[in-house]
Amino acid sequence: MKTILDFQDKKNKNEKITMVTCYDYTFARILAESDVDCLLVGDSLSNTMLGHPTTLSATTNIMAMYAGAVARGAGDKKLVIADLPFMSYRKGITATMTAAEKVMRSGVHAVKLEGGEGNYAMVKHMVGSGVPVMGHLGLTPQSVNQLGGFKVQGRDEKAQKKIMEEALRLQDAGAFSVVLECVPSHLAKEITAALDIPTIGIGAGSDTSGQVLVLQDLLGMNPGFKPKFVKTFYNGFENLKDAFNTYHEEVTGGQFPSAKESYS
């Protein structure tokens, strides 16, 4: 999948979309050769790459640096979307456009931002300026302090109505897709049915147009972090640790380097 038109095409054909977060050149090269449809340079890099407790530490410069590495690794093989970080799209149109410009110039194809209320004019202006925008509703980690923690959203009818309304308004503003994070499955299903554009779920059940997972969670590299919605597809932490230990053993035991890895 290379463009946002392919994204829409998948929904139209009722084919599931797969997205994985990616933050560096090396993994982007692997993902570029995989069947995964598209890559998200999430501001979750603040957690996974930089060790912060929330995504609030990501800045536009940080996002642009990581986004550039992923775009170079993905080449022309995958659609790459990057997050606009905390506050970068809440200080007026000029500041928003400067942030979007910086992130887009890194080489990605689209940006993502969190929340509905207060963002519609920004989305419309970006889309009108040639910047494809993905929305993100439900659990919006940049608002963790307002939400009082990383909690499932849309539990009651009023909250569900608000999320549905925001999704429709993001679509009206020109968003090409909406991420739904940690919402009840029935709500994600209803929103997906109500929208023409595709929804991408994480902790939103199986009825969204596609799914996204954080790379480190998918690869089992983050032991101890196992929210209900995460499935690990590889025992990355243990397998990588084993490889490091084998290297250590071979160096200390004299097997590496052998003649094969040495110059005559």
78 Cβ contact partners less than 8 Å away, ≥ 6 residues apart? 1, 2, 28, 31, 32, 36, 37, 38, 39
Cα–Cα distance measured from residue 44 to residue 74, given in angstroms and rounded to the nearest whole number: 19
CB of 21 to ligand KIV, least distance (A): 4
CB of 55 to ligand KIV, least distance (A): 6
CB of 263 to ligand KIV, least distance (A): 44
First to last CA, the chain: 47
Half-sphere exposure (Cβ direction) of 230: Cα atoms closer than 13 Å: 16
Cβ proximity to ligand KIV, 74 vs 214, nearer residue: 214
What DSSP assignment string belongs to 69-125? HHHHHHTTSSEEEEEPPTTTTSS-HHHHHHHHHHHHHTT-SEEE---STTTHHHHHH
Cα–Cα distance measured from residue 49 to residue 242, given in angstroms and rounded to the nearest whole number: 21
| By the rule CB under 6 A, 21 interacts with ligand KIV | yes
Residue from 43, 176, 191, 197 in contact with ligand KIV (CB under 6 A): 43
Cα–Cα distance measured from residue 9 to residue 15, given in angstroms and rounded to the nearest whole number: 8
Stretch that binds ligand KIV, among 36-44, 68-76, 95-103, 248-256 (CB under 6 A): 36-44
User: Which of positions 67-106 make contact with ligand KIV (CB under 6 A)?
Assistant: 83
Closest CA to 40 of 87, 78, 94, 89: 78
Cβ proximity to ligand KIV, 10 vs 243, nearer residue: 10
With contacts defined by CB under 6 A, how many residues of the chain interact with ligand KIV? 11
Calculate the alpha carbon distances from 107 to 3, 64, 86, 104, 111 in Å.
Answer: 13, 9, 20, 6, 11
Residue from 22, 44, 78, 86 in contact with ligand KIV (CB under 6 A): 44
User: Which of positions 201-230 make contact with ligand KIV (CB under 6 A)?
Assistant: 202, 212, 214
User: Is residue 24 classed exposed, middle or buried when 0-12, 13-18 and 19+ CB atoms within 10 A define those classes?
Assistant: middle
CB of 57 to ligand KIV, least distance (A): 12
Catalytic residue at 114?
A: no
Catalytic-labelled residue, pool 181, 190, 238, 249: 181
| By the rule CB under 6 A, 197 interacts with ligand KIV | no
Cβ proximity to ligand KIV, 65 vs 256, nearer residue: 65
Residue from 7, 31, 32, 42 in contact with ligand KIV (CB under 6 A): 42
Cβ proximity to ligand KIV, 21 vs 171, nearer residue: 21
Residues at the site binding ligand KIV, with contacts judged by CB under 6 A: 21, 42-44, 83, 136, 179, 181, 202, 212, 214
Query: So which residues are the catalytic ones?
Result: 181
